[in-house]
Amino acid sequence: MKGLILCAGRGTRMQPFSNTMPKTLLPVANRPLLHYCIEKLNRVGITEIGVVINPQQKSIIEFLDRIQFPSPIEIIKQTRPLGIANAVQKAKAFIGDDPFVLLLGDNLICEELHMLVDASRGHDSAILLSRVENPSDYGIAEIEDGKIHSLVEKPKAPKSDLAVIGAYVFQPTIFDVIAKLKRSARGEYEITDAIQQLISDGYSVSFSVTDKPYSDVGTLERWIVANGWMLNQVHGDQVKIGQNTTVENCTIRGPVLIGENCLLQNVVIGPYVSVQDGVSLRDCEIADSICLEDASICGIGVKIVQSVFGRSTNLQGEGETKKVTFMLGDHSQVTFPIDHKE
């Protein structure tokens, strides 16, 4: 069995951060989303992995060159954004005659893949599902007699609360199905249409249901939420501090993850904060937030919450209020004087 990770999306809802970094390299608990996908495939015994990118995503190639993995990772290019099924079709030569696990590179799934792979045995395909509170916002699997009857994208009157969450197992027959697809109303070749065609053609599509957290890290808000629950899952309420980091007169409430070569002075930090290498935090209070490499925050008399600070961002200010939220892309420069109280 092989693995395929799709990373070619433009990430427009993650701007400004996706303007300078592919969405799948954005860190959750200080590790890129793509790294989690690769590790998840490796833990289920998959060592042959292909990654679909668009040609502009050279930083993904550089990242894959840096990581240690048992075998080289195949780079597959999707030159036009024509949907998930089209991206899968680009990998036909890499997959060959083997079954494969498909992961969406911007999805973070806590469930291990063993249950999905086990569910696929003896079937033509398998999909991972999760119960959701708002099924009208998702692609929903409608189940009859323990089998998937149909997949409906964002149904107005959903017959199920089981959402498709971006992990699949396919046999190579999927390529023949995709080749016959027509574009959807939004001009893309949809993987849900391909799976529905498998069902209509009489192929066996099984499923497994997870009750563990997952997130489509497709918006800034979901990124922050995913960062929080991953910190909690990996570190509990612990505080992890990297080498050569200075911490002076600080109150730290875990889970908090702090990288190397950082400076923290007179800071109240946590819970649910990840700080990458080289960050400077002085005279501020911050919770439920993400600080990327070499960011600097100083003199903010405000409780900073649910914020993301891009690489080499510089934020300075003074004054008092209750709380504030920032979404600052790489290399931002902001002075934040406050002369009022909310």
Those residues with Cβ within 8 angstroms of residue 221's Cβ, 6 or more apart along the chain or in another chain? 306
Which position has the token pair 């929903």?
Answer: 140
Residues 184 and 289 in one domain: no
Structural contact between residues 53 and 8, judged by C-beta atoms closer than 8 angstroms: yes
Residues 127 and 32 in one domain: yes
Residues 52 and 150 in one domain: yes
Give the domain-ending residue among 191, 220, 249. 220
Asked if residue 228 belongs to a domain, the reply is no
Asked if residue 342 belongs to a domain, the reply is no
Asked if residue 37 belongs to a domain, the reply is yes
pLDDT score, position 71: 81
Asked if residue 230 belongs to a domain, the reply is no
Domains in the chain, number: 2
Distance, in Å, from the CA atom of 108 to the CA atom of 38, rounded to the nearest integer, reads 11
**Start-end of H helices in the chain:** 33-43, 58-66, 84-89, 92-95, 114-120, 173-179, 191-200, 220-235
CATH of the domain at 202: 3.90.550.10
Range of the domain at 120: 2-220
pLDDT score, position 36: 94
Distance, in Å, from the CA atom of 159 to the CA atom of 271, rounded to the nearest integer, reads 38
pLDDT band of 328, cuts 50, 70, 90: low
Structural contact between residues 47 and 70, judged by C-beta atoms closer than 8 angstroms: yes
pLDDT tens-place string over residues 88-122: 999 999 999 999 999 999 889 989 999 999 999 99
Residue length of the chain: 342
Tell how strand 246-248 and strand 263-269 pair up: parallel
Residues 103 and 189 in one domain: yes
Distance, in Å, from the CA atom of 181 to the CA atom of 137, rounded to the nearest integer, reads 24
Distance, in Å, from the CA atom of 104 to the CA atom of 107, rounded to the nearest integer, reads 6
Give 125-154 as a DSSP string.
EEEEEEE-S-GGGSEEEEEETTEEEEEEES
| 224-228 average pLDDT score | 92
Judge if the upstream peptide bond of residue 337 is cis by omega within 30 degrees of 0.
Answer: no
Asked if residue 38 belongs to a domain, the reply is yes
pLDDT score, position 270: 93
Residues 315 and 203 in one domain: no
pLDDT > 90 fraction of the chain, expressed in percent and rounded: 56
Asked if residue 277 belongs to a domain, the reply is yes
CA atoms within 13 A on the CB side of 9: 24
Residues 162 and 35 in one domain: yes
Residues 83 and 119 in one domain: yes
Residues 198 and 247 in one domain: no
Residue 333 pLDDT exceeds 90: no
Residues 169 and 23 in one domain: yes
Asked if residue 227 belongs to a domain, the reply is no
Residues 103 and 63 in one domain: yes
Judge if the upstream peptide bond of residue 172 is cis by omega within 30 degrees of 0.
Answer: no
pLDDT tens-place string over residues 230-261: 999 888 899 999 999 999 999 999 999 999 99
pTM of the model: 0.88
Residue 56: name the closest of 19, 85, 90, 14 by CA.
19
CATH of the domain at 254: 2.160.10
Give the domain-ending residue among 159, 189, 220. 220
Tokens of 211: 């009750």
Average pLDDT, the chain: 88
pLDDT tens-place string over residues 68-83: 777 889 999 999 888 9
Residues 69 and 142 in one domain: yes
Structural contact between residues 245 and 264, judged by C-beta atoms closer than 8 angstroms: yes
Asked if residue 94 belongs to a domain, the reply is yes
**Helix or strand run (H / E) with residue 258:** strand 256-258
Residue 33 pLDDT exceeds 80: yes
Residues 161 and 269 in one domain: no
Which position has the token pair 């629950």?
Answer: 229
Tokens of 55: 């040609």
Tell how strand 125-131 and strand 214-216 pair up: unpaired
Q: Is 117 helix (H, G, I), strand (E, B) or coil?
A: helix
